[in-house]
């Protein structure tokens, strides 16, 4: 993977300082562009590099690759671009619109749709290119003025977002307008940020020894996808995941002193959640979330099939969004948030390449974060009913208008599954209202899956590849995640009972858990 530079004044220092360090400053948490002499000198040096003949040559290659990629995109499938396609106004409308957004809602929107992309865009903002700021104020391009063009417009938007609330409701209408304008500008810049992806496009190539042409994968230079930014644990340079844990924010707000002092205290008290492997993810999640999941006050919902051979199945635990932010890593939170909000007018979520989507391929097993997988059938009924899974054609619930595009895309570009609990006789010939995604949060994804019930706009997460698991309090007094290793209840229980932590000595009681957790994404 290689990220391509564009001809711009690169504001690296601003991008470095942007994400978490100022999360609670001002209102929405934005800060001014770095104007220190060393930062200005760095930008001018990088600008000279960007003007070199070699970079100009790369730009020409880039343009040819981009044009080629456009021509080869899948007919009828809108390409997912690396831009913010869900405005603050759209987000506001999901809450009724008229009352406006609260500052908490504005922060949620900026944390999950704007801030990291803004940091990436700031690194490529160009003071030579004209831009429009708040109130449609024009910022003319001026190579000799660090406050001109795109850089000046970004600074003006940040200042507008740091303004106090209005005296009368809606209190933050001007902030919503400023966010919409900032997003439009960020999108202009992000369209210049590209990367090369191998195995991107399908071409029909004749084998070296002759014969009929066969599908072949070729590389392409394209806009940087979410799988390499928002959903990646190692995002491209200039993109950084901010810490959104509520305890981090609370510590930051409660600590006296400078921004650096506040951040250091918050980082020490609530470091960002990072999962090295899926096994580490299970261990960390069990330890952190176990008490919350088992608390009597934690909400639950019932699976579609209530019992196995007369024995009641575990209920599906529900995690509030605040709890999810406390226990899950930011790339996974980004995916959960985007998956839900695509039904509200956001970008359709599917990180598969044109090669994957081609009708001759229809790759349904990609391990890239945020890719749609095979049609999730819920053949065992462990998820709540959605009106289509397990229903007859005559009784199946209708596809809501907001989910029609996703349903059509999923139908045309994916297929039925091939696992032991999917496919086979009686398998559906189209999706049943559950869209399954490869998850995020670690470098290699196998067990972590996200399912969107796009009939009822509900989001579910499994860390165990749909298999039963258990929680047990170990010798250290911590909650421990015990994998069951099977979708069959009895087989999973045997494995859990044989686990050292449970088998002892001493023998420890455990709580059998449903494979799925519902995440209450706002």
SS (H, E, C) 74-91: CCCCCCCCCCCCCCHHHH
C-alpha pair distances (Å), 489 with each of 105, 305, 439, 483, 502 = 40, 13, 24, 12, 17
Q: How many angstroms separate the CA atoms of 275 and 284, rounded?
A: 8
Residue 318 has pLDDT above 90, yes or no: yes
Q: How many angstroms separate the CA atoms of 193 and 6, rounded?
A: 7
**pLDDT bracket for residue 349 (50, 70, 90):** very high
Q: How many angstroms separate the CA atoms of 172 and 358, rounded?
A: 44
**pLDDT bracket for residue 42 (50, 70, 90):** very low
Residue 75 has pLDDT above 80, yes or no: no
- The residues, ordered by sequence, that sit 6+ positions from 378 with a Cβ below 8 Å of its Cβ are 304, 389, 390, 432, 434
pTM over the 0.95 mark: no
Least confident of 40-44, 210-214, 285-289, 346-350: 40-44
pLDDT in tens, 352-410: 999 999 999 999 999 999 999 999 999 999 999 999 999 988 999 999 999 999 999 99
Residue 73 has pLDDT above 90, yes or no: no
% the chain with pLDDT above 70: 83
Residue 3 has pLDDT above 60, yes or no: no
Q: How many angstroms separate the CA atoms of 335 and 348, rounded?
A: 11
Residue 26 has pLDDT above 70, yes or no: no
**Ranges assigned E (strand) in 333-468:** 434-438, 449-453, 458-462
């Amino acid at each position: 993977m290689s990220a391509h530079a564009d001809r711009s004044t690169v504001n690296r220092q601003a991008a470095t300082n942007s994400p978490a360090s100022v999360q609670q400053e001002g209102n929405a948490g934005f800060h001014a562009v770095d104007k220190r002499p060393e930062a200005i000198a760095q930008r001018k040096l990088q600008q000279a590099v960007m003007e070199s003949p070699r970079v100009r040559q790369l730009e020409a290659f880039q343009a040819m690759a981009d044009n080629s990629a456009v021509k080869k995109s899948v007919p009828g499938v809108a390409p997912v671009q690396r831009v913010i396609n869900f405005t603050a106004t759209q987000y506001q409308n999901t809450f009724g619109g008229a009352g406006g957004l609260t500052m908490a809602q504005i922060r949620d929107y900026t944390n999950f749709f704007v801030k990291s992309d803004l940091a990436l865009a700031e690194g490529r903002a160009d003071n030579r290119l004209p831009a429009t700021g708040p109130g449609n104020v024009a910022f003319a391009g001026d190579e000799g003025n660090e406050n001109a063009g795109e850089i000046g417009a970004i600074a003006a938007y940040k200042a507008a977002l740091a303004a106090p609330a209005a005296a009368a409701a809606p209190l933050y209408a001007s902030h919503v307008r400023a966010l919409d304008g900032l997003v439009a500008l960020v999108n202009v810049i992000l369209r210049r940020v590209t990367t090369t992806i191998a195995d991107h496009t399908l071409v029909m190539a004749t084998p070296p020894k002759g014969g009929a042409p066969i599908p072949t994968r070729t590389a392409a230079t394209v806009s940087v996808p979410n799988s390499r930014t928002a959903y990646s644990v190692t995002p491209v340079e200039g993109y950084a995941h901010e810490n959104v844990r509520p305890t981090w924010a609370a510590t930051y707000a409660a600590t006296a002193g400078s921004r650096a002092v506040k951040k250091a205290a918050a980082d020490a008290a609530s470091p960002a959640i990072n999962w090295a492997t899926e096994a580490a993810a299970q261990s960390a999640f069990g330890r952190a979330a176990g008490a919350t999941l088992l608390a009597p006050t934690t909400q639950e919902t019932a699976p579609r099939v209530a019992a196995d051979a007369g024995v009641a199945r575990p209920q599906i635990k529900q995690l509030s969004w605040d709890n999810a932010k406390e226990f899950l890593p930011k790339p996974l939170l980004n995916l959960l948030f985007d998956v839900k909000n695509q039904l509200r007018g956001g970008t359709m979520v599917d990180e598969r390449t044109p090669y994957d989507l081609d009708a001759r391929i229809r790759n349904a097993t990609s391990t890239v974060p945020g890719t749609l997988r095979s049609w999730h059938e819920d053949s065992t009924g462990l998820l709540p009913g959605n009106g289509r899974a397990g229903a007859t054609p005559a009784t199946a619930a209708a596809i809501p208008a907001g989910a029609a595009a996703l349903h059509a895309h999923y139908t045309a570009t994916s297929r039925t599954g091939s696992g032991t609990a999917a496919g086979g006789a009686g398998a559906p010939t189209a999706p049943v209202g559950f869209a399954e995604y490869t998850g995020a949060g670690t470098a290699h994804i196998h067990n972590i899956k996200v399912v969107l019930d796009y009939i009822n706009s509900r989001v579910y997460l499994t860390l165990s590849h749909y298999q039963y698991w258990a929680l047990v309090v170990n010798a250290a007094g911590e909650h421990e995640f015990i994998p069951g290793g099977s979708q069959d209840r009895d087989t999973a229980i045997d494995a859990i009972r044989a686990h050292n932590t449970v088998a002892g000595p001493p023998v420890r009681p455990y709580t059998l858990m449903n494979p799925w957790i519902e995440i209450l994404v706002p």
